[in-house]
Amino acid sequence: MKVAVVGQGYVGLPLAIAAAESGYEVIGIDNNQALISSLSDGISPIGDISDAQVAKVISTDNYKVTTNFSEISSVDVVVVCVPTPLNSAHRPDLSYVESAFNEIAKYLADGALVINESTVAPGTTRSLIARILEESGKTFDLAYSPERIDPANKVWNVKNTPKLVAGLTESATERAMKFYGAFVETITPGSSVEVIETAKLLENSFRLINISFINEIAQFCNALGIDAREVINAAATKPYGFMPFYPSAGVGGHCIPVDPMYLADKASEIGTPSKFIDLAHEINQGLPHYFATTASNLLDGLANKRILLVGVAYKPGVADTRETPALGLITALRDAGANVSWHDDLVLHWNNENSTALSDQFDLAILLNPHPHCDLTLLGQTPVLNTRGGN
C-alpha cells in the first residue's frame, strides 16, 4: 500500500516514519523546500525523530519526500497533517487545510482513502473537506483521525497513543482503522466524524481550563507566601477525583491555546455558551501582565533593568516556539522600559533575535520554560522569578 502524508512537521513526520517502518511505501509531501532537502539528506528537523530513523527508512525505499503534490495520483491513502492556527483576531484559520485539500483534489486517485489529522471544528470534515474533494469528480473515502502528538514525551508516541477514528461512511472508518492498525496499538472508532472532531477539541479545552485555573491558584499561593507546586503535589496524593496541573507563564504550542478557540467559535456559531473557555483564554492572555507586574515589584520598577528570560520555547525539551508565552511577556516587559534578553539553547534564533548566554550580569532572571539540561548555576546570585511555581 502506498501512502502520502501531507505535512512533514511535528505531526506528519512521526506519522510518516511510523507508517514506513511498518512496511508502507510512504511519500512525505511539504511545500517547505528547505525541510524536504534536509529530510532527503537523512536529517530530522524535530527531536522526536532521529536522523538515523529517517536515514533507515530512506535506505529501504519505504520513505521519500517531495514538494510535488502530483505524487498523490499514485497512492492509496492520503493523510493530511497541516497547521490549523488562529488568525490575528484569535479566530480559526483554515487556510492551510483548504490549500492542502485543493491540491489533493487535483491529483486524487479514484477510490483513494483520505484522512484528515489536522484539528478542525465539528462539521468541517463533512461540510468543507468533503465538498473540496467532491470537486475532483473522483470517488473516495474520507475519515477524520485527530493527531495526538506531544513533542518530547518519552513515554507516549504515535505507536502507543490510542487513536480515534471516524469516517463519513462505514467503509471509510473500516479502511482508516485497517491503515492505522499496522502501526498503532489501540484504535477507537466513533459513530460520526462530528463526535471525534468534538472529542479532539474537548481534550485540549479541558487542559486549557485546568491550567488556567491552576495559574489563578498559583497567584493565590504567591500572595499567601506558599509554594504552589507543594500545594498541588500535596493535593495529588489523593488517589481519586484529582488530576495535577502545574502553573506557567501561559499555555503555548500548537494545541492547548488554539483548539479551544475552534470549539468556542463553533459554539458561537450555533448559539451555545462557552464561558469556561472564554474565561480560561482571558486568564491565559493576562499572564504576561501579571508576571511583568511581579517583576516590577521585585525590582522596584522596570525602567532600564536588565532582565533575562530563560526558555522561550512553549515547553521544556523542544525547540517549538508556536504560541509561546514568551512573546507576550517580553512585550510587556519592554513596554515598561526593561532591557530584555533571552536564553534558549534549543531555539538559538527567534523573532529576529539570538539567544544570550546565561550569566550573572542581569538584574533579574525569569524562568519560563528552561530545558532539562539548562545549567541555571551560571546565573550566579541573580534574583530569579520562576513562572512555573516552586522555589
Question: With 0-12 CB in 10 A as exposed, 13-18 as middle and 19+ as buried, what is 225?
Answer: exposed
Angle subtended at Cα 37 by Cα 35 and Cα 43, rounded to the nearest 5 degrees = 75
Active site residue 81: no
Amino acid at 209: I
Identify whether the C-beta of residue 388 lies closer than 8 Å to the C-beta of residue 215.
no
Which three three-digit cell numbers place residue 186?
489501540
Identify whether the C-beta of residue 48 lies closer than 8 Å to the C-beta of residue 87.
no
Q: Rounded distance, CA 116 to CA 144, Å?
A: 5
Of the residues 81, 221, 255, 374, only one is catalytic, namely 255
Which three three-digit cell numbers place residue 263?
470549539
Of how many residues is the chain composed?
Answer: 391
Which 3-state string (H, E, C) describes 239-298? CCCCCCCCCCCCCCCCCCCCHHHHHHHHHHHHCCCCHHHHHHHHHHHHHHHHHHHHHHHH
Q: How far is CA 162 from CA 125, 184, 188, 212, 305, in A?
A: 21, 7, 7, 26, 48
Side by side, which strands form the sheet with 187-189?
A: 63-66, 25-29, 2-6, 77-80, 112-116, 140-144, 163-167, 187-189
For the annotated catalytic residues, the residue numbers are: 255
